[in-house]
Amino acid sequence: MSQAFEQSPLPVGQKLDNFEKYVRRQQISRFLARYELFKRCQNIKGSIVECGVYQGAGVMAWAKLSAMMEPYALDRRVIGFDSFDGFPSVAEQDTAHAQDNVEMKPEGLATGDAVYQDLLACIAEHDDNRFLNHIPKIELVKGDACATIPDFVANNPHLIINLLFLDFDLYEPTKVAIEHLLPRVPKGGIVVFDEINNPWWPGETVALMEHAGLSLNQLQIERFSFDPNIAFIQL
């Protein structure tokens, strides 16, 4: 939030009801990117999977967009993978050519249990304000994604993914996600990368290049003019 939000004497509820006054343009741009991605694959069967939940804005955005735009889509789940304890480890593919990055370390970008519990509270509140709320909408999968993703796929053989959002930042979990989750994205589904072509986080690009056979010329990687990070492939 902006400094104006912190300094405003207005009640917090009133400020949140008029959030456009205070939210920085970067956050609005990111939400608009999520909205555009959601629309592009809304008619494709499957669930939304976010790899790298961090503070939870993405998970909640997908769930709220679904609740607003397709209130009876009872089988559109939002599944989020994260350790909530930061990076379990960092591979050589991440560090060998990375530019100076203070978060490139074990436990980097840790959010902690407070964020996890806060997100659970937000999920519960969201469930009180949507149709078909007796059916779970959001599932958080807590732990090292290199282990939890294969286990989740094995335990959920029905899983189809219409939107796969890859935001692990690092090589190893991104590689595992591509190997186990990408085969479950049907034609017309979207695969999103948040850190490719990024000198501070090279591991995500390395994982993509390995899967693409060291050639990207058969992939059309698109971007939005108003967001610097998000890139996507529509299959």
pLDDT number for residue 214? 53
Using a pLDDT cut of 70, give the percent of the chain over it. Answer: 99
Per-residue pLDDT band for 4 (boundaries 50, 70, 90) equals confident
Residue 233 CB neighbour total at 10 angstroms: 19
Contact 152, 141 (CB under 8 A): yes
This prediction has a pTM of 0.94
Average pLDDT score over residue span 50-66 = 98
Report yes or no: 193 and 168 within 8 Å, Cβ to Cβ: no
Q: Phi-psi category of 70—alpha, beta or left, where left has phi over 0 and alpha has psi -120 to 50?
A: beta
User: What integer is the mean pLDDT of 149-167?
Assistant: 98
* CA separation for the pair 79, 71 (Å, rounded): 17
Q: Is 76 exposed, middle or buried (0-12, 13-18, 19+ CB in 10 A)?
A: buried
Tell me if residue 141 falls in helix, strand or coil: strand
Banded model confidence at residue 98, pLDDT cuts 50, 70, 90: confident
